[in-house]
Amino acid sequence: MTLKVTFLFVAITLASCNSSETKKDSEEFEVVSILDNLYCGTGGLTVGPDGYIYLSDFGPWLSGTPVLNPKNRVYKVSEDGNISIYAAMFDGASGSKFDSKGNFYQSNVKLGHITKITPNGTIDTLFVSGQVSPVGIEVDKEDNLYINNCDAHLIRKVTQARDTTIFCQDSLLNCPNGLTKDIKGNFYASNFYDGNVIKITPEGKASLFATIPGNNNGHVLYHENSIYVIGRSAHQIYKLSMDGEIELFAGSGKRGKKNGARLEATFSYPNDLDVSLDGKYLYVNEVADTISDNRVLTPTSLRRINIFD
């Protein structure tokens, strides 16, 4: 069933990062804040073909009764922190992705389905059957979807004809959270229940690629022959070579929201990441609350990290 809707590009007035102090920080620091204290649980983050950052609201807590909630939204954020509402009515909105035709796919972890939004505003609820806690999403060159199913510990493939198969099911997958793909067609899944990053061949064969400190990974991104992984409980971001060598990319390891040099800056349960269209920056969402435990996901901060020194 499809529903034609009109997008709600509603401006939201918030304290944004437009002050002279923030402008100075953005010129001097490798890690800066784009926005802070958005009432949004740290779910998915993806950069669209229009260059905007799309932030998905997971909801305020990791657990809870599944319910479609008009307050659970996907926000559209400009690179200077201006916010509008892109779409609403989600629950557990985590991994998200655009395909080559500009269709937006949003996983709903708690509801067990994927939401598709076309460029003309048509909303379609996809693939309800068989999805168990769908999280990270990746798209191949034929626009087939690959969807991490956290609590089923597997990855499903869904074609544009909506044929669904199990792409990879392996004991190494331990709540696969983030998912990305390199130029050779290999996939990389980051586990939420441990620190492992799993490499999966185009044929679906899994092997251990690397282990990230913190024992709780967020999402993962392939960019320019490197893999970037969120060490969620470590409050850090790591960079992996294609041989699996691990390098600390950003974050001192202390929980906080301090801007500055990459290795001196602090983060608070970061979750997802994507790269700007020009390849200069990584965008990372995180929990703005630096006191509560890891079950609390709101409010959200959005940070920007210089990729190159």
* 223's tokens: 């960019």
* 84's tokens: 């509008």
- Residue 125 belongs to domain spanning: 30-306
Q: Is residue 13 part of a domain?
A: no
Q: Is residue 16 part of a domain?
A: no
Torsion of Cα atoms, 41 then 46 then 52 then 56, to 10°: -20
- Write the CA distances from 45 to 1, 53, 57, 105, 183, integer angstroms: 26, 7, 9, 12, 21
* 61's tokens: 């807590």
Q: Is residue 15 part of a domain?
A: no
- Residues facing 57 on adjacent strands: 42
Q: Is residue 20 part of a domain?
A: no
Identify the pLDDT of residue 298: 94
- Write the CA distances from 254 to 50, 63, 191, 202, 301, integer angstroms: 34, 25, 22, 37, 16
* 282's tokens: 């990584």
pLDDT tens digits, the chain, 309 residues: what are they? 444 433 333 443 343 444 444 444 455 689 999 999 999 999 999 999 999 999 999 999 887 777 778 789 999 999 999 999 999 999 999 999 999 999 999 999 988 999 999 999 899 987 666 788 999 999 999 999 999 999 999 999 999 898 999 999 999 999 999 999 999 999 999 999 999 999 999 999 999 999 999 999 999 999 999 999 999 999 999 999 999 999 999 999 999 999 999 999 999 999 999 999 999 999 999 999 999 998 899 999 999 999 976
Q: Is residue 23 part of a domain?
A: no
Residue 131's CATH number: 2.120.10.30
Q: For residue 299, give every residue at least 6 positions away whose Cβ sits within 8 Å of its Cβ, in sequence order, or none.
A: 36, 37, 38, 39, 40, 287, 288, 289
239-272: buried (b, 16+ CB within 10 Å) or exposed (e) per residue? bbeeeeebebbbbbeebebbbeebeebbbbbbbb
Q: Is residue 248 part of a domain?
A: yes
Q: How many domains does the chain have?
A: 1
CB 229 within 8 A of CB 220: yes
Identify the pLDDT of residue 129: 64
Identify the pLDDT of residue 51: 98
Q: Is residue 143 part of a domain?
A: yes
Q: Is residue 142 part of a domain?
A: yes
